[in-house]
Amino acid sequence: MVLRFNRRKIVMKINRAYKTELDPNNKQITHFIGACGMARFVYNWALDYWIKEYERGDKRTGWMKLNTKLSELKQTEFTWMYDYSNWVRVYAMRDCDQAYQNFFRRVKQGNKNPGFPKFKSKKHDKKSFTINGGEVKIKETAVRLPKIEWIRLKEHGYIPVNSDKICYATISEENGRWYISVTVEETIQEQEISDQIIGIDLGIKTLAVTSDGIYYENPKTLKKAEKRLKRLDRELSKKQKGSKNREKAKIRRAKAYEKVARIRKHILNEITTELAKTKSIIAIENLNVAGMMQNHHLARAIGDAGFGEFRRMLEYKCAWYGSKIIVIDRWYPSSKTCSNCGAINDNLTLNDRTFKCDCGLEIDRDLNAAINIKNTAKYAEINACGESVRPQSIAAVSVKQEAGIGSYV
């Protein structure tokens, strides 16, 4: 049975974050540092309180009651908190509560490494704090925050001024630069999605190949910047530990790595947005990225390509734009299977960039894999419960039937 999908228009509300760089003056930077210190203090104070409660065997105090207790102490012991917004304290308390509950949830699930929350460090942890969206005002060139008034933006017009609702805003510091991430509620406009299903094969030589013959080149941002990064690493290693010059060298190196990450993220965003907006159904393989990273010959190249980030972006963007994702079982031999007759070539190696079959087919191996992924997804049947079952009429799959060959996300 072939699945048929009609054209449709979608309208939905989503929460979307807009992150951009601030241009604060020295007074505002001092306020940011103090607010980050307050968020770190509240997080550590709450975690210490709950740890002591657990050791005594007492019932855990809810974060709202604990926040009230800290608000009372603010009037006597922690009067310096009046210099900052109350929302800094509230969100820091909520974050600690969530981390604490997540630990016990993972323990109940039998996770071997549940990850108990750690105390935040002034030196090593990221500096950030969050405030409620009701206290944030936005215009094209600046944002207004409580206790600090208007702050200039380096990028004008990026954060939407007339959004449905401002949920919250997070201010953070990265390598000496200050950023604001504003989460707003938006209504996605109606748009028409074509009735097209494609398969995508991810790779190192070419980042992504679609079944309709479109190749997305791998930017290889880390490889291109490798020479400069090595030089910065050498400069850092020669600086005396604890010196100011070493701290400056650390920032220079961190900025270089940050640039690499941003270029990669920008390209992945462009590709995934185009696919999610224009395709009705997208089929990808369930790659074992963590296992692939164990191969020290390919780990750097795989990490540079960003397979995991590609899938993550594709999943939430498909949810935004009304597309669907079918995830193909990782053991399905998409590269070794002939997309024409279904025969499997077990002798195919990574060095073989062209797939040749006895039936006469000669095709690029990545394109062949993408077509197989598309064909497998095209004939996958979904039962009433939404669970995937085996495809029943496809030559390429009939050679090797496997359970769980396709599933919807």
> How far apart are the C-alpha atoms of 369 and 210, rounded to whole Å?
9
> Which comes out higher in pLDDT, residue 193 or 363?
363
> How far apart are the C-alpha atoms of 58 and 304, rounded to whole Å?
48
- Say if residue 239's pLDDT is above 70: yes
Give the pLDDT band of residue 192 (cuts 50, 70, 90): low
At residue 409, the pLDDT reads 45
Please name the residue that has the structure tokens 């053991």: 331
- Say if residue 407's pLDDT is above 90: no
- Say if residue 403's pLDDT is above 60: no
At residue 349, the pLDDT reads 78
At residue 359, the pLDDT reads 84
- Say if residue 55's pLDDT is above 60: yes
- Say if residue 393's pLDDT is above 50: no
Percent of the chain topping pLDDT 70: 88
At residue 250, the pLDDT reads 92
- Say if residue 48's pLDDT is above 50: yes
Percent of the chain topping pLDDT 90: 54
Provide CB contacts within 8 A for 39, sequence distance 6+. 88, 89, 91, 92, 128, 129, 130
Residue 214, classified by CB atoms within 10 Å of its CB into exposed (0-12), middle (13-18) or buried (19+), is: middle
Strands 8-9 and 192-193: antiparallel
CB 295 within 8 A of CB 338: no
- Residue 260 CA from chain centroid, whole number: 16
- Say if residue 19's pLDDT is above 90: yes
What integer best gives the mean pLDDT of the chain?
85
At residue 95, the pLDDT reads 95
User: What residues are labeled active site?
Assistant: 201, 285, 366
Least confident of 6-10, 107-111, 350-354, 356-360: 6-10
- Residue 85 CA from chain centroid, whole number: 29
Residue from 260, 47, 267, 27 nearest 152 by CA:
27
Give the pLDDT band of residue 176 (cuts 50, 70, 90): confident
User: What residue segments make up the domains of the chain, in order of their start?
Assistant: 16-188, 197-408
Give the pLDDT band of residue 189 (cuts 50, 70, 90): low
- Say if residue 143's pLDDT is above 60: yes
Provide CB contacts within 8 A for 340, sequence distance 6+. 357, 359, 360, 361
- Say if residue 7's pLDDT is above 50: no
- Say if residue 408's pLDDT is above 70: no
Give the pLDDT band of residue 399 (cuts 50, 70, 90): very low
> How far apart are the C-alpha atoms of 293 and 301, rounded to whole Å?
9
